Structure 1
Amino acid sequence: MTSQDQPAATAPAPPSLANRYGGQKRTLSGKAKRTILILAIAAGMAFMAWISTSNATATVTFKDIGYSTPDATLTEVDFQVTKDPATAAKCSVKALDSKFAVVGWKVVDIAPNAADAGSDGGRTTAHRATVRTESPAVSGLIDSCWIPDAGK
């Protein structure tokens, strides 16, 4: 007995890409595109305004010149401050021991000065801060300087 060949089963229909991955994505409407463009332009303008005003704010820089330790409980720090002559500033001065631990710390007020004081038209002035220490210091330096708020 011989059997007749059976016809091959038909292959399943290939699934379409839309069935597999979903339909075509919708594009943004003209109104949505305009809204995004307006928001991007506004953000860019706000960023540019921030950049231009941040450059106009008063800044202060400092430079350590040296230090001395007249005795075990005292450190003198010499430094320069560069700022607008009409602006006051504050600087934090610290003294360190051999293990870099802070053994003395002080905030120094830098008053406004005349244009003929110091160098660079009164912008750069030299200062000396005396800091009391709790143990012998091996270094003295300026930690930071800033322009204090007018209301404080």
Structure 2
Amino acid sequence: MTSEDLSATQVPASNSLANRYGGQKRAMTRKTKRNIVIAALVLGIAFAAYVATGSAQAPVTFKDIGYSTVDDTQAEVDYQVTKYPGATAKCAIKALDSKFAVVGWKVVEIGPNDPQDDPDGGSTTMQRTALRTESPAVSGVVDNCWIVDSGK
């Protein structure tokens, strides 16, 4: 009793490839393409709204006015901070030596301003910060300023 060799029978090439790799993929329908485009537009609009509202929060800007060296261990930095009058900001101030190495560093908090303090409604204030230095400073600058989250 011999059995018939099934491997010798030829299966059409299209069927054997479909069995091995799966059937032919169906093209996306018009409705599916439209739904993908609508979803992409909604995500784009949501992202644009997120960016727009994030930028609308009260920014803080600063401007270096000058510095002075009191002695070999102290420097003073004069700067101007512009922010929403009711906001609290923090600024990082640094003193530099002749090789631009940081020789003094301090973070100062600038509280809310009274809108009647300045002609611009209290948004701009002049600040002077004294820094302890580890060696003589030849420059003093504001490194960065940011708004402190009032919820914390």
TM-score range, shorter-chain basis? Answer: 0.7 to 0.9
- Aligned-partner Cα distance in 2 for 1:105–1:79: 15
Name 1:59's counterpart in structure 2: 59
User: Partner amino acid for 2:139?
Assistant: S
Q: What aligned pairs does 1:126-137 form with structure 2 within 5 A after superposition?
A: 126-137=126-137
- Aligned-partner Cα distance in 2 for 1:138–1:119: 33
Cα pair 1:119 1:125 within 8 Å, conserved: no
* TM-score normalised to structure 1 length: 0.79
User: Partner amino acid for 1:125?
Assistant: T
- 2:74 corresponds to 1:74: yes
Name 1:100's counterpart in structure 2: 100
> How far apart are residue 26 of structure 1 and its match?
6.6
User: Partner amino acid for 2:68?
Assistant: S
- Aligned-partner Cα distance in 2 for 1:118–1:135: 36
Cα pair 1:88 1:147 within 8 Å, conserved: yes
> How far apart are residue 27 of structure 1 and its match?
4.6
- Unpaired runs of 5+ residues, structure 2, are 1-24
Moved more, 63-72 or 42-51: 42-51
Cα pair 1:118 1:126 within 8 Å, conserved: no
- Aligned-partner Cα distance in 2 for 1:111–1:118: 15
- Aligned-partner Cα distance in 2 for 1:48–1:126: 35
Superposed CA deviations along residues 21-53 of structure 1, whole A, max 9, x for unmatched, are: xxxx97531132122112112112212211331
- Aligned-partner Cα distance in 1 for 2:64–2:26: 63
User: Partner amino acid for 2:98?
Assistant: S
> How far apart are residue 55 of structure 1 and its match?
2.7
Name 2:114's counterpart in structure 1: 114
Cα pair 1:67 1:140 within 8 Å, conserved: yes
Moved more, 99-108 or 43-52: 43-52
Q: How many residues align?
A: 129
Q: What aligned pairs does 1:1-152 form with structure 2 within 5 A after superposition?
A: 27-152=27-152
> How far apart are residue 96 of structure 1 and its match?
0.3
User: Partner amino acid for 1:106?
Assistant: K
Name 2:17's counterpart in structure 1: none
1:94 is paired with a residue whose SS is: strand
Identity in percent: 61
Structure number with greater Rg is 1
User: Partner amino acid for 2:38?
Assistant: I
1:52 is paired with a residue whose SS is: helix
* RMSD of aligned residue pairs (Cα, Å): 1.7
